[in-house]
Amino acid sequence: MPTSEPSRKSDEPAANRKDAGRDTPAPADHASGTRQQFDSFELAAVLSHYNTGEIESIQPFPRGSSASPKAIIKCARGVFLLKRRARGRADLNRVAFAHAVQLHLVRRSFPAPRIVATRRDRASFLELRGHVYELFEYLHGKSFDHSPQSARIAGYELALLHKLLAELDTENAPAWRDYHNAEPINDRFAEITARLADQPEAMRAASALTEAYWDAAARAQQQGAHDWPRHIVHGDWHPGNMVFRQTEVVGVLDFDAAHLAPRAIDIANGALQFSVTRAGEDPNRWPDDLDMERYLAFCQGYDQTPGCLISQAELRALPWLMIEALIAEAAVPIAATGRFAQLDGGHFLSMVDRKVRWIQENAPALIDALPH
């Protein structure tokens, strides 16, 4: 990672950061409530710091955290996405590291959106009136089409990202607690039990998932997960953070969770996210199984990238890391709100329990699906 800012004459923004230091991340904001919006005075003040040219239109972009408002800005210089960071996500060292990662990837022609610099000081983000703002190039494309071909290219892009980020200095990587072997999971399930105490099926699922989580963590540890080399990982590799055109990835988004971890943390989460099966809006009707064709395609895409062969130990740990990722992802928002997005928390936990049991039962097939 560069230790000095680029020249102010450069078109590339400087990754604003204070003196090097590590921060303990605040928890993600999973509170329910009205989605935050920009007001017209705020937009005018923020955009005055950027050289956008004449503004043609501004449209709300209701995606991601409701605590972090976003808007699509169409203007003379192009189309951009403006984001105000949620207060728990606005630590400046953490923002600067995420931007340093993104800037490096853009320089290396990886499909990450360009960060737009502020007009006067060429900073990669704007601090204004107690908030942190970011302006990004808006990438046009489509969502994941659930095809094995798209899953394969997603695996390939993850491997390429890991290779490129190995070039960066890791000194200023923020402290981060990811989903593996995370002690706070017990607190999350205690909160879930308190919230959903009147739902017997949710209580049963919560108990089973707590036990399954720690069993999976122990099995991953048995494969040596605690001793694996730590690299800069994306930290949130899923279809919602990727933009496709046909089966080509034209944009990888959201580097807020970039941190040091074994690369298998990303591989397992990606394999899960690109193979998980859903059906409609009722989680009670979702299938138990994963899509094995997409799972295999994702892993092959990663594994067949030169220099990125998945090790036998990583393969043997993969189903157990996937279980940890699935449980942790469900537990955090349900503990905070009793819901998973707009879905009933109790029903969602029961669905996760069914999928976890399927992964447990099919772990040998998941491990053997990618023979070396």
What pTM value is reported for the model?
A: 0.90
pLDDT for 12 equals 65
* pLDDT in the model for residue 172: 85
pLDDT, residue 278, reads 93
Spatial CA neighbour of 33 closest among 58, 60, 61, 69 = 69
* Strand boundaries in 290-369, DSSP class E: 339-340, 343-344
Helix (H) or strand (E) holding 245: strand 242-245
CA 313 to chain centre: 24
Please tell me the distance from the alpha carbon of residue 146 to that of residue 101, in angstroms, as a whole number. 28
- Distance (Å, whole) CA 206 – CA 210: 6
Among all chains, which residue has been given the structure tokens 């990886």? 110
How do 231-233 and 131-137 pair as beta strands? Answer: unpaired
Which run of H or E residues covers position 252?
strand 248-252
Q: What is the pLDDT of residue 28?
A: 39
Using H for helix, E for strand and C for coil, what is the string for 97-123? HHHHHHHHHHHCCCCCCCECCCCCCCE
pLDDT confidence of residue 15: 65
Cβ atoms of residues 160 and 110 within 8 Å: yes
Give the pLDDT of residue 16.
Answer: 56
332, 27 in Cβ contact below 8 A?
A: yes
The DSSP secondary structure of 160-188, one letter per residue, reads: HHHHHHTTS--TTPPP---STT-THHHHH
Q: Look-up: residue for tokens 């006067």?
A: 120
> What are the boundaries of each domain within the chain?
40-137, 148-368
Cα torsion 212, 151, 105, 257 to 10°: value is -20
Looking up tokens 């023979």 gives: 371
Note down pLDDT in tens along the chain; length 372 residues: 232 233 333 456 766 543 333 233 333 344 445 789 999 999 999 999 999 999 999 999 988 778 899 999 999 999 999 999 987 777 899 999 999 999 999 999 999 999 999 999 999 999 999 999 999 999 999 999 999 999 999 999 999 999 999 999 998 898 888 999 999 999 999 999 999 999 999 999 999 999 999 999 999 999 999 999 999 999 999 999 999 998 799 999 999 999 999 999 999 999 999 999 999 889 999 999 999 999 999 999 999 999 999 999 999 999 999 999 999 999 999 999 999 988 999 999 999 999 999 999 999 999 999 877
Question: What's the confidence (pLDDT) of residue 18?
Answer: 38
| Residue-level pLDDT at 64 | 78
Written as six digits, the tokens of 181 are 């072997």
Q: Which helix (H) or strand (E) holds 323?
A: helix 312-337
Structural contact between residues 269 and 325, judged by C-beta atoms closer than 8 angstroms: yes
Question: What pLDDT score was predicted for residue 63?
Answer: 83
Q: What is the pLDDT of residue 5?
A: 30
Total length of the chain: 372
Cross-strand bridge partners of residue 329: none
- 301: its two tokens: 């895409």
Contact between residue 244 and residue 149 where contact means Cβ atoms under 8 Å apart: no
Fold topology of 40-137: Phosphorylase Kinase; domain 1 (3.30.200)
Task: Identify the pLDDT of residue 120.
Answer: 92
User: Which CATH architecture group holds 148-368?
Assistant: Alpha-Beta Complex (3.90)
pLDDT (0 to 100) of residue 137: 97
What pLDDT sits at residue 46?
98
Q: In the prediction, which pLDDT does 371 show?
A: 78
